Amino acid sequence: MFDRGFFKGQGLAGFCLEVRKGGVKGALDKLDQLNGFNFTGNFSFALAGHLLKGMKNANTKAATSKLLSTLISYSRESNHANLLGYLCALLPNISDDLAYLRQVIPSETEDRNLSIFHGQLIPDKYNGALFFAMFATILKNSDSEHEQIYIYRSFEEGIQFMPESFPVTYDVLIPKMEQILISSQNDTIITHVLSIMNSMSYYSLESGSVVNFLNKQVLQQLGFTGIADSDLFQSKNKTNSVQAVSSVLDSF
């Protein structure tokens, strides 16, 4: 389908969402609600959320990484922000592959700064909230120090770029930072954590005093409550999900 031009002009997301408008829409909407992902709200984050658990299993990690890279390369998206979900799931694991990153990350400056924190990729606070939430989910059960360093460094930069979206990380991040300050021996991570905490204070984002648009219900408002558990092979609504999948298949 990539090579036959199906996605040209409207991109992968536009093509799939157009197909979704048919008789299968009701069943797919129900499935989205059960799984906690909103494909019509943000296609790349919904699809990446379903794939993220594959990045946490050694037997599926390589194949999932390849699939995410393929989605980035062939989605034919004219709007770079439509790739953000795929990049978010992939970046912590490939952050040292500079040659590849220069190909897939757009830059607003001529010096090809590889920062992902600019308006082409994260155009608004809602994309920012989804980005921060997914990175927090990856961090939650990460056992890779390389991965952790990249995420904390990204949080250090990201809170400066879009502080109003950052509190969505708090349920995961604050306990993690407290534990690091108590027991970590990694000076790099400690430095990033202290910088994040300073920025939280500077922007008046201390836990319990956040008065911005963002609160604990933000992911529910966006239709993305599934992000918090998207790195695990589990389902809180297994029976209902099976019934919803059956409804989708019956719609064809």
pLDDT of residue 2: 53
**Beta carbons of 230 and 52 less than 8 angstroms apart:** yes
Q: Please tell me the distance from the alpha carbon of residue 15 to that of residue 240, in angstroms, as a whole number.
A: 27
Contacts of residue 33, defined as CB under 8 A and 6 or more positions apart, other chains included, come to 223
Q: Residue 239's pLDDT band (boundaries 50, 70, 90)? A: very low
Handedness of CA 85, 90, 91, 92 (dihedral sign): positive
pLDDT tens-digit series, residues 88-100: 999 999 988 888 8
Contacts of residue 206, defined as CB under 8 A and 6 or more positions apart, other chains included, come to 200
**Beta carbons of 146 and 188 less than 8 angstroms apart:** no
pLDDT of residue 244: 46
DSSP character at residue 118: S
Q: Letter for the amino acid at 219? A: L
Output the pTM of the full model. 0.88
Contacts of residue 24, defined as CB under 8 A and 6 or more positions apart, other chains included, come to 248, 251, 252
More confident residue, 145 or 8: 145
Handedness of CA 153, 56, 11, 126 (dihedral sign): negative
Handedness of CA 93, 96, 102, 105 (dihedral sign): positive
Contacts of residue 199, defined as CB under 8 A and 6 or more positions apart, other chains included, come to 156, 159, 160, 163, 205
pLDDT score of 105 more than 70:
yes
pLDDT of residue 12: 85
Whose tokens are 């797919």? That residue is 28
